[in-house]
A and B are shown apart, each in its own frame.
Chain A
């Protein structure tokens, strides 16, 4: 680390004023979830208390992240430095509008999943550690969203990953073991690539602080080594986000775990990859991103189209939804390829929408399977008669995921297509629209098969078959209210409708997140003080 000046300004290096109380909001998400996870782990055998405690901590997380987002929108980017090691030396937590928004949505989804799990995860699942793993996974996700240090982000990724292994294998089925092996090995390769890129970046620039990297990359301009590092980041995070052609681990593992685990994975994990892509390519290495725009655009288009075609070719409802997750990733990457403020805002909005809608769709699928006794499209049918409410909820979610108005999927698609046409990416805009059409086809067929027709395959259409198990309580093991399943589903659907009808607020937030990435003046100033 030669090169820094040898005169030290002691006064500047020592804070004597206490940290403002609001700044604790920045690291509270990680602390809260680690404490909650540990307590739940200690209470491993007390499965009833575990669920209540887990929900309390997840609820606190939602409140905290809500306050954090409010604070960020009011004051701009907030930085907290660990142990007063001033940047670029210490580990900094730096929160901008993008990180805070995603952390809030992640917390909401995790709370909903925790509630849903309170009756769908039986006591043996809890004994194997569902709630500790869920809380610790949120530690990793929040840490990754809020940290301002690239190596630190790697560590949070690993925290997230190891907890996700635990959740994925919960239950020990044959299919789960099989799926976890594939998920585990491929994700480990992905994080190793991330670590390689980070090591090389450190060798190249001598710093790990994101704000410092941004400045140094701007000064040095785009060069061969930096392009290599950018490509490595692209590959590593494309693997995490399940972009074509490194996406085949997702459909082979996401349909195996408990449905609530699949729901939170589908909502959250791939979006952490998208966030990391935004952070590294759009903010840290904008010049390299511009060079790679064509590649990212092709990856995006192929991800969208192969994802949705895969969805059409599935008969298992969960695998179909897994392919729709992939297809959504393609739309988000399209925004990254275009790279204007409007396009990146579209990506951010799409990420928020996708977290909510995919989680809700998996939850709805869990309810449908509990009623019909199967996830197979051939055996689903006649559910409209069994539950018109579920039919309506599923239709709302289906229209939202296909990007049809007036639900939340419509606006980000409009933003992305608009941005694509503005900058002459006509074929990319066409790919987005064709994907929307094919998605309506795939998900519309699910609705027609599961809800509209009279009964499963083999029954006369128009007649009503008696449903095999007939009750949500089959999921719960009986005896409890089904409200814990319906409330999270209803809450997520309500958010989907709300963001569709009143998109201005979320649009403004995503726009602030996007412009903060493209022109990170506020970020740099927050880390280095006004002088930077």
Chain B
């Protein structure tokens, strides 16, 4: 295959891999990027929201030619029971700014463009090639990879593992464990196509304005999980995801859950009459700070989903991936500039730089949240959404019942479902995990 030796090999052409490859190639490093898909993006799945700031640090003028769908002017959080939803909506014309803050994207198209940026900077991208194994020297230092191409061994000073949440290489090489069922969620998603005027009318949008809906409640049937509806230009991304451990325990099927979500009276009118063109499934890292594996070693670093870098609460995954890829690239370049070897000791710089960034600071802040939401999933995803929706219906329905009596009914429903101790305990535990 390729005879020459590289400064760095990047495994994977998703957000993290492309950011790492671009960062290093821009600085004149000789980078080989290996992608198993037909083209960068053809194996990648996301909701998907793109945060501009993290991309701007890599491609300052990305708005000129990146394939973006809609810039977000509105965010809806819905707490759902079987027939209702209680919503918190934030919409602001401030988001119609010259340089919008968030966009919806379609990953297969976006990644192709993003990889193009890395290639323009000089990275060599080899597609349709699966990396089968890491190559280590006699001292255990990673010195390259073995691909499924003929004579497919290729060497580099350092390997950046951007292989995604289901990274096999790192596990096979005993650099990290396979993700545990309670640290990953399985999400399924469909792409629903509609004329853009229809989307704009249904979602109250004009031009390229966009809206996203995040939904939790009885739609996950007591499992820790969330649904989402994202408006793209001419399509709507609809999906739902729950912890794999919960699926395993309950025996729920993901596509059954998705169908029920689509049929919910609050969701169905948004996608009515659409043409579905794709069905995808993907794992999402949900373990948070406590699930982060060893991030570097002799001759290697791990970035993005493979390193479990995802802020589930804020639904920030791809920007953590992008940022960790960029930081890894910068750290590697610094080590190389000093003409130092890519040892574990020297690559610790990556971890140090990541610790100083928002990536680890944010994950640390919510380190107790995954456990809380999982252990309390019946309360947070079934009991409370039902109670809250019932309370709101009671509040808005006018039927001649005195308001004092209405309040009594609502309070009683909360206390009989959770008891005073339970209610205060839940509030306390939630506040503590949030802090």
Genuine A/B complex: no
